[in-house]
A and B are shown apart, each in its own frame.
Chain A
């Protein structure tokens, strides 16, 4: 069995499981943000409403808001706070960062766990060797909170094997975006996706993170990187981090293997209207951008701010572009401050926002007029998520986003426009 099958077998009290079987398994952690928490609480209160037997199983992080702009949104957050208090759920209020980063940084995600949440990027926790799956609000309200369990269909596994050496200036984010275009949106529907091969092995934990993050766009149920010494070293840095929890697969090859050479990839941009509409930066270079943002599930890492500081050294943000910086956690903001990145980027003309999920769906920031365009490290670019359905969102690496902020138009770090 591989990591996914082993975790599902253990959590459902079986010796083994086979792809295609439906099992009911014990869930270790439910993670909710302010929107999914609200929707789950509505269902729970209306249709279930029994005391929650193990409230420590659930964690809520307010990340779509850092300071509610309307009375309606303030009411939503107050409702969530009351619900969390009533049931004893762990709550990280506004300003604590993005759901997935805050959950990891505060020690709520551990290897070998089953982690669920209705944020569709929940599978990112496969980077730690957890089985992490996005479920809907009714699963959370109907079975996870009252019974600590959920139903799962055991997925077939695809291994994405990445080898080769990237060209200079090509980042892991470029490779990840390129893969969505190359494999295709929804093409790995219902499957588990293992990211492996020498390229993945050579990446740091936070660069590996960008790969399980994208599996939802391929249609996958979950994703993982087989735990190794990089995983183990990262787990030891977390509160309560215990490398003894690591679960390893038996090493058998996946049912399907897709091999790619990362050496053929140029810097990439996902263009509107979908994450799979990926092109080399050169094809859209020169498109004016009113906003550039480092933040969201795919950004706001310390690595992103370091890259931006390098790109902006000796330059200023273009006067027609606003450059937003949104740390993914309080820890990242503190680390950026200690390294001098906060002042350097501020003085270059960028604007820091509170740790949160930034312009993700424009609940607290990031609405655009119909003729405006943003380039960002966000994970989604569907029309209508940021103000006008006619506004445009491009997704790129932090290097490309920073170079575009300097140029005022889409530009790659190499490539002249900057």
Chain B
């Protein structure tokens, strides 16, 4: 699974509270998606294009494990989310909702806002096409790749109920 797009760079320790702010939790997705990460970069929800790639720092998606944070990020149309490290509930939720995620380890200066980047989820390769450099992150577990290919956990459980019986 490969993805290529424009990079949006975010920092360390960003909680899910900043992906979906508490006052919007009960609002429909059309509203949530207009406010994703706006406190950290007001241009992001306005300018993000389908296929763009978010590259965040350490412990991305900490705090509440609500899947709505990953769903709101997915609803912006991004192709993939890359982080130096993820909070585990966020990483899990990404695959469960069908949003590809790659963890690449500590590489704070690898890519900047606006760089062209490419992700290969199967090999774990993360390439900055602007600077022509590649690093290798953790390839996704085959169980998680299956989940993505099924379109998320609920679809996987419907298609292959024997896994959970």
Which A positions have Cβ atoms within 8 angstroms of B? 22, 24, 35-36, 38-39, 43, 47-48, 72-73, 76, 118-120, 134-139, 141-143, 146-147, 149, 151, 153, 185-186, 189-190, 216-217, 219-221, 274, 276, 361-363, 380, 382-385, 389
For residue B111, give the distance in angstroms from its CB to the closest CB of chain A.
Answer: 20
Determine the chain A residues whose CB is within 8 A of the CB of B25 once the complex forms: 35, 39
For residue B57, give the distance in angstroms from its CB to the closest CB of chain A.
Answer: 10
Are B13 and A186 in contact, CB atoms less than 8 angstroms apart? yes
Are A120 and B93 in contact, CB atoms less than 8 angstroms apart? no
Determine the chain A residues whose CB is within 8 A of the CB of B141 once the complex forms: 22, 153
Determine the chain A residues whose CB is within 8 A of the CB of B13 once the complex forms: 185-186, 274, 276
> What's the Cα separation between A43 and B29 when bound, in Å?
13
Are B66 and A118 in contact, CB atoms less than 8 angstroms apart? yes
> What's the Cα separation between A43 and B96 when bound, in Å?
12
Determine the chain B residues whose CB is within 8 A of the CB of A22 once the complex forms: 141, 143
Determine the chain B residues whose CB is within 8 A of the CB of A220 once the complex forms: 88
For residue B89, give the distance in angstroms from its CB to the closest CB of chain A.
Answer: 5
Does B76 interact with chain A (Cβ within 8 Å)? no
Determine the chain A residues whose CB is within 8 A of the CB of B157 once the complex forms: 142-143, 146-147
Determine the chain A residues whose CB is within 8 A of the CB of B22 once the complex forms: 361-363, 384-385
Known: A137-B68, A143-B157. A217 touches B62 (CB 8 A): yes
Are A39 and B65 in contact, CB atoms less than 8 angstroms apart? no
Chain A to chain B contacts (Cβ below 8 Å), 22 pairs: A22-B143, A24-B164, A39-B68, A76-B26, A118-B64, A136-B67, A136-B92, A136-B97, A137-B67, A137-B68, A146-B157, A147-B161, A151-B153, A185-B13, A186-B62, A186-B85, A189-B87, A189-B88, A380-B63, A382-B17, A384-B39, A385-B22
Does B152 interact with chain A (Cβ within 8 Å)? yes
Are B93 and A136 in contact, CB atoms less than 8 angstroms apart? yes
Are A141 and B154 in contact, CB atoms less than 8 angstroms apart? yes
**Interface bracket on B:** 35 or more
Q: Which of A39, A73, A120 contacts B67 (CB 8 A)?
A: A39
Determine the chain A residues whose CB is within 8 A of the CB of B89 once the complex forms: 118, 120, 134-136
> What's the Cα separation between A73 and B23 when bound, in Å?
11
> What's the Cα separation between A22 and B147 when bound, in Å?
13
Does B118 interact with chain A (Cβ within 8 Å)? no
CB nearest neighbor in B for A380: B63
> What's the Cα separation between A380 and B163 when bound, in Å?
36
CB nearest neighbor in B for A152: B92
Determine the chain A residues whose CB is within 8 A of the CB of B63 once the complex forms: 120, 380, 382
Are B66 and A35 in contact, CB atoms less than 8 angstroms apart? yes
> What's the Cα separation between A357 and B143 when bound, in Å?
36
Are B65 and A119 in contact, CB atoms less than 8 angstroms apart? yes
Are B65 and A118 in contact, CB atoms less than 8 angstroms apart? yes
Interface residue ranges of B46-95 to A (CB < 8 Å): 58-59, 62-68, 70, 85-89, 92-93
In the complex, besides A151-B153, A383-B18, 14 extra interface pairs with C-beta distance below 8 angstroms are: A24-B164, A73-B26, A118-B64, A118-B89, A120-B65, A135-B92, A136-B97, A138-B154, A139-B92, A147-B165, A186-B58, A216-B62, A363-B22, A382-B63
> What's the Cα separation between A24 and B153 when bound, in Å?
13
Interface residue ranges of B76-126 to A (CB < 8 Å): 85-89, 92-93, 96-97
Determine the chain A residues whose CB is within 8 A of the CB of B66 once the complex forms: 35-36, 39, 118, 136-137
Are B65 and A48 in contact, CB atoms less than 8 angstroms apart? no
Are A147 and B96 in contact, CB atoms less than 8 angstroms apart? no
Are B164 and A149 in contact, CB atoms less than 8 angstroms apart? yes
For residue A7, give the distance in angstroms from its CB to the closest CB of chain B.
Answer: 18
For residue A31, give the distance in angstroms from its CB to the closest CB of chain B.
Answer: 13
> What's the Cα separation between A48 and B161 when bound, in Å?
12
Does B136 interact with chain A (Cβ within 8 Å)? no
Are A24 and B18 in contact, CB atoms less than 8 angstroms apart? no
For residue A67, give the distance in angstroms from its CB to the closest CB of chain B.
Answer: 17
Interface residue ranges of B8-32 to A (CB < 8 Å): 13, 15, 17-18, 21-22, 25-26
Determine the chain A residues whose CB is within 8 A of the CB of B64 once the complex forms: 118-120
CB nearest neighbor in A for B103: A189
Determine the chain A residues whose CB is within 8 A of the CB of B39 once the complex forms: 383-384, 389
CB nearest neighbor in B for A361: B22
Are A138 and B88 in contact, CB atoms less than 8 angstroms apart? no
Determine the chain B residues whose CB is within 8 A of the CB of A38 once the complex forms: 26
Are A139 and B17 in contact, CB atoms less than 8 angstroms apart? no
Are A138 and B152 in contact, CB atoms less than 8 angstroms apart? yes
> What's the Cα separation between A389 and B164 when bound, in Å?
42
Are B96 and A139 in contact, CB atoms less than 8 angstroms apart? yes
For residue B107, give the distance in angstroms from its CB to the closest CB of chain A.
Answer: 15
Known: A138-B153, A384-B17. A189 touches B59 (CB 8 A): yes
Are A147 and B93 in contact, CB atoms less than 8 angstroms apart? no
> What's the Cα separation between A389 and B22 when bound, in Å?
11
For residue B145, give the distance in angstroms from its CB to the closest CB of chain A.
Answer: 12
Known: A138-B93, A138-B96. A118 touches B67 (CB 8 A): yes
Determine the chain B residues whose CB is within 8 A of the CB of A147 once the complex forms: 157, 161, 164-165
Determine the chain A residues whose CB is within 8 A of the CB of B161 once the complex forms: 147
For residue A107, give the distance in angstroms from its CB to the closest CB of chain B.
Answer: 25
